[in-house]
Chains A and B, each alone.
Chain A
């Protein structure tokens, strides 16, 4: 299997069911960008270095995800609109274990 199913609710509340490739070295932020689920320039601003929180999302399913790294934890401690289920999309590398993942994009920081 090279594609998994992910449900992403965009910032306007619209649900998208998409196929995400596991063999393209992509992370969740990049998947969102590749499907253009958030306007360019409003997501993945730092490019995926966990140095902005523009790809913050809320994890809605109980999918098991890799543990947070120090960088991600540090960034989320300073981000706005953070909830207990917040993660940075750029730090979630797409793997087969994530099949069925459901997330909601956090609002854009203004």
Chain B
């Protein structure tokens, strides 16, 4: 069982910054996120988009903001459970919580902070009749371990960055990679598009466009897919494959958190703006996932909410301790890894 002071659900910018504010109070954090990497929407949906309303940053790419936050919290050594979705919560007799993920990983903490944004990102699934039958039997929506596809015949569908990037990566791993997309045009980083073009020209990647996959065949394991070319005669062809990876992006769902007994309004969790606590004492909700009168879903508001949440969490965890807020310019930042950052001492010297 993983033990921590504040268990943060959601590793987006708000959850990451909460680690920093908690660290200043000497509270340790562990984060759970359904995505395989930290950063939430910033990493998953728009890493290359500039954000203009982060105080002090006239312009910062969402991906860079995440990198900076990771650097900022590094010395507080947060733990991560990535690629797993927080599924159930149990309140123990002593008032602490156990949160279990869909993979069965258990986390124990006196305080839970839900920084779940729009919810956990679930893959968008193509509308194919027998799709669920082949899930984990040849169909996967996320690639966690590319080695699974070593020397396999793989077909990828999609027209965005992840379809391009994985086609490129798997071209060197799988025995055969086919990329199918409903249009001739792809939407991705220019170098990814060019790389796919190059692989196609070299015959290392099989590109079928405009086309879509309309059927899956196999007994229990996927054996082949039916592809329909989008043209005047709508030619259909069967392709033998071991694996089908539809990469049609992700859509967020509030998911199991919606069943935790929290007060929900407008698909968000109601909180008290005093400390962003929910109707269940000890469970807080910060960032885009919460709602209150006047709520704005902005990263900068999430940072503020995370900061106040940590103060309240400190009181809850250490009811007998006295504490006053200290500026980092005064107290510096002492990491759990033994590092200490502080302002250089001013020179006191007479000028003659």
Tell me if A51 and B159 are in contact (CB < 8 A).
no
B91 at the interface (CB under 8 A from A): no
Q: Which of B160, B181, B185, B254 contacts A41 (CB 8 A)?
A: B254
Tell me if A74 and B118 are in contact (CB < 8 A).
no
**Can you sample 13 A-B contacts with CB below 8 Å?**
A40-B267, A41-B119, A41-B266, A41-B267, A46-B46, A51-B46, A52-B251, A70-B185, A73-B183, A74-B160, A74-B185, A74-B187, A77-B183
Contacts of B254 in A (CB 8 A): 41
List residues of B (209-259) whose CB comes within 8 Å of A's CBs. Answer: 248-249, 251-252, 254
Tell me if B187 and A41 are in contact (CB < 8 A).
no
Q: Provide the main secondary structure of the chain A interface.
A: loop
Q: Which of A49, A54, A109 contacts B46 (CB 8 A)?
A: A49
Shortest distance in angstroms between A68's beta carbon and chain B's nearest beta carbon? 12
List residues of A (19-74) whose CB comes within 8 Å of B's CBs. Answer: 39-42, 45-46, 49, 51-52, 54, 70-71, 73-74
A-B contact count (CB 8 A): 55
B330 at the interface (CB under 8 A from A): no
Q: Which of B124, B127, B159, B252 contacts A77 (CB 8 A)?
A: B159
Contacts of B158 in A (CB 8 A): 78
Shortest distance in angstroms between B98's beta carbon and chain A's nearest beta carbon? 27
Tell me if B45 and A46 are in contact (CB < 8 A).
yes
Q: Provide the main secondary structure of the chain B interface.
A: loop
Can you add 19 more A-B contacts, CB < 8 Å, to A70-B185, A71-B187, A75-B187?
A39-B267, A40-B266, A41-B268, A45-B252, A46-B41, A46-B45, A46-B46, A49-B46, A51-B249, A52-B45, A52-B249, A73-B183, A74-B183, A74-B185, A74-B187, A77-B159, A77-B182, A77-B183, A80-B124
Tell me if A109 and B251 are in contact (CB < 8 A).
yes
* Chain B interface (Cβ < 8 Å from any Cβ of A): 41, 45-46, 49, 118-119, 124, 127, 158-160, 181-183, 185-187, 248-249, 251-252, 254, 266-268
Contacts of A51 in B (CB 8 A): 45-46, 249
Tell me if A78 and B251 are in contact (CB < 8 A).
no
Considering the chains assembled together, what is the distance between the CA atoms of A74 and B184 in angstroms?
10
Q: Which residue of B lies closest to A74 (CB)?
A: B187
Q: Which of B49, B127, B160, B185 contacts A80 (CB 8 A)?
A: B127
Tell me if B118 and A78 are in contact (CB < 8 A).
no
Interface residues on A, range: 10 to 19
Contacts of A52 in B (CB 8 A): 45, 249, 251
Contacts of B46 in A (CB 8 A): 46, 49, 51
Tell me if A41 and B183 are in contact (CB < 8 A).
no
Q: Which residue of A lies closest to B267 (CB)?
A: A41
Considering the chains assembled together, what is the distance between the CA atoms of A51 and B267 in angstroms?
20
Considering the chains assembled together, what is the distance between the CA atoms of A41 and B185 in angstroms?
30
Q: Which residue of B lies closest to A71 (CB)?
A: B187
Tell me if A41 and B118 are in contact (CB < 8 A).
yes
Q: Which residue of B lies closest to A50 (CB)?
A: B187
Shortest distance in angstroms between B215's beta carbon and chain A's nearest beta carbon? 17
Contacts of A70 in B (CB 8 A): 185, 187
Considering the chains assembled together, what is the distance between the CA atoms of A78 and B246 in angstroms?
11
Q: Which residue of B lies closest to A109 (CB)?
A: B251
Q: Which of B49, B249, B268 contacts A78 (CB 8 A)?
A: B249
Considering the chains assembled together, what is the distance between the CA atoms of A46 and B288 in angstroms?
12
Q: Which of B181, B187, B268 has the most CB of A within 10 A?
A: B187
Q: Which of A45, A49, A78 contacts B248 (CB 8 A)?
A: A78
Given A74-B187, A78-B160, A109 and B124 contact (CB-CB distance below 8 Å): yes
Contacts of A77 in B (CB 8 A): 159, 181-183
